[in-house]
Amino acid sequence: MIALLLGLAHAAEPGDADAVVIALREEVQRAVTELALPEAEGPYFVGVRVLDAHRTRVQASLGGLVQQSHRPVRTLSVEVRVGSPQSDNSNFDAARDGFRSAQLVQGRDVAALRHDAWLTLDRAYKDAVEALAAKQAADRRRAQPIERADFAPGEPQQAWAEPVAPVDVEAVTELAREVSAVFLEAPEIEISRVTVEAVAGRWVIVDSLGTEVVEPADELVIRIGARARADDGASVVDQALFVGRASAGLPDASVVRAGALQLAQSLADWRGWPVATEEYVGPVVFEGAAAAELFRHTLVPAVQGTPPVEKPPRGSRVFLFDDASAPSAMRFRRRLLPPGWSVVDDPAWVPHSPSSYAHDGEGQPARFVELVIDGIVRDHLTTRTPSDHTNASNGHARGGSGHLLRAMPSNLRIRPDRRASDGRVHRKAIKLAASYGQDHYVRVRRLSDPSVRALDVGPIATVRSILGFSQPSLPDPVRAVRVFRDGREQPVRGWSLSGIDVRSLREIVAASGSERHAMMLSEPTGRGAGRVPVTIDAPTVLIPEAELAPATTDVERPPSIASPLTSE
């Protein structure tokens, strides 16, 4: 049924004509029956996943090409589990844990494909044996043993879908160059980049339980990023994002150009906004893209059911990637939102988006999930890795290659019990502001996105971001305005946002119309983490108290001479 909704026509079973499936099938069965080391257990489960596709990436700036690649990829991701479903080598803080990735040879030579898979599976098995020994040693040191199981196999699945044809690289290049040329007429923009990325082909998923799933790989992402700097040296980075399916073709160039023009104008306007000089404490309205980002950073982690990576107990003298406690999903029957609110995730809801799919990265069927009912957490997004609350997958394992897949949303819909008019939200916010001694409230329309950090003037990355650790708080506003009783708005730049976390969601006092936003969401944790397409449909919300403080970032001087674009 889901496949029908997504428009994924199942092809005939691949049989002997599909060299990749044959090679994976044979090597998985050989690995699970023959892999062995002296005095070590053999694997009880082996799973493999291959991205067999064309990957296209074109980047342009100011009408010129910056970089271009268009190549076939066969990225193999393997999972070898040693021990038992109750206790195995997975989800433990080890440098090598039985999950690996490698590139498979191109072509249809089954022997060559089997050779590459054989080597990768052998290395993963040896890693798994080491990781299991380390995990068992840590468990023996632990005062309170961890009771939950490590694996919930589920039923083996079989499904085959047609692969997606590669995109036209010349058309992609022309679109990137054409859109990037918009910024030739925007001298206020210091740096601009238009990046078009497409993945078109298929995912092949095979495991030792009998799963054989071929799922389309069908993703097109257009990211328009730009940076502006004010006369005082402060800078801002923002983006326009288009997410769709490669099979649907490129969007109309005029639509993408309009997004670039709007981005350039908004950043040019930002340069002239007054700078925040005083702290604001009081009600804040999050609307549009900012509302979706608010729920992305606060609600999503609360419903991601994959448990955090296990670490050795305190007192163990070992090297760890990070000693901080990873966030866990909110426990069942705990209030997350006001009474009457609901949250569902439906992988079939937006058929034209790559955030919709029929089978997840573990080959499990994607399922509709009611996560929050009447404001109370009732379920989690889950994979085949059990948590303290759930012991079965509901088809939400998504992510990159070479590591344990974790639960991720697909199409998330947040619904309030009732919707107020914009005017009523405004009046309520003004009344709340008065109780804080304010004659205005703040409306946030956009938050910064870490994915365009490389365009900023600060560090392009930190050790925490490279290792995939999550951001500790909400990003700072890119567009925020003071709103007064008469509806007058005063834009402000240079604010840093604090005082909002998952507990703030319970305090929402009003909501109005919803907007749907597509985004690329980072995996919650994990070295080698990737980004997956997600759609969030979220209402405008009024939070009664947040803190906005003047940013204290030390900035550098603007360029000493004017941009040459000003003389064109």
Q: How does pLDDT run across 252-275, given as a tens digit for each residue?
A: 999 999 999 999 999 999 999 999
Query: What's domain 10-271's architecture?
Result: 2-Layer Sandwich (3.30)
Mean pLDDT to the nearest integer, 462-476: 57
Q: Residues of CATH 3.30.2290.10 domain(s) within the chain?
A: 10-271
* 3-class DSSP assignment, residue 262: helix
Q: What's the pLDDT at 313?
A: 81
Q: What's the pLDDT at 530?
A: 67
CA 290 to chain centre: 16
Q: Which residue has the tokens 């951001």?
A: 471
pLDDT of 468 above 90: no
How sure is the predictor about 400, in pLDDT bands with cuts at 50, 70 and 90?
confident
Most confident of 12-16, 248-252, 386-390, 523-527: 248-252
* Category of 163 on φ-ψ map: left (φ > 0), alpha (ψ -120 to 50) or beta: beta
The more confident residue out of 131 and 324 is 131
What is the rounded CA–CA span in Å between residue 316 and residue 336? 35
Q: What's the pLDDT at 315?
A: 64
Q: Which residue has the tokens 């799933």?
A: 213
Provide the mean pLDDT of the chain: 90
Within 300-349, strands assigned E span 342-345
* 3-class DSSP assignment, residue 126: helix
| C-alpha dist (Å) from residue 367 to 18, 371, 393 | 28, 12, 9
Q: Kindly calculate the radius of gyration of the chain based on its CA atoms and give it in whole angstroms.
A: 25
- Lowest-confidence pick of 304-308, 448-452, 490-494: 448-452
Q: What's the pLDDT at 322?
A: 53
